[in-house]
Amino acid sequence: MNTSHALAQYKQVNVQTSVMDASPHKLITLLIDGFIERVTQAKAALNAQKIEAKGERISKAIQILSGLRGALDFEKGGELASNLDGLYDYMARRLFTANANNDLDMLDEVIGLMRTVKEGWDGIKEQSAGQGA
């Protein structure tokens, strides 16, 4: 077995273990982090003129957005869930356009938006931890 294949298998097991052991909050965190990583990879691929790889990473990022949208609870989340749904829809449309136009600025825009969502999501965890103390 070559080293790169072994490393790939280790990473896959590590990801699977992280998901299986994760709380619902952690699962959303993993999706958000995965989204940011895929869009960052798409930017790198675009800069390297690897158009096929760019498209694959953007496609994976859009799939992650679909997962995030599917996780929204509109009954409990109310207006916040509705606002996030709209934001995720906007981000998906921007990714489609960025992919079609090879637009780095749009990729930066969606990364910035998701980082803002991540800050809020991380704050929820910190706030609930502080209340439990």
For 35-65, the pLDDT digits (tens) are: 999 999 999 999 999 999 999 999 999 999 9
7 confidence band (pLDDT: 50, 70, 90): very low
For 81-108, the pLDDT digits (tens) are: 999 999 999 999 999 999 999 999 999 9
For the chain, what is the mean pLDDT? 86
23: pLDDT strictly greater than 90: no
- Cβ atoms of residues 64 and 31 within 8 Å: yes
Q: What is the full DSSP assignment across 7-60?
A: HHHHHHHHHHHHHHT--HHHHHHHHHHHHHHHHHHHHHHHHTT-HHHHHHHHHH
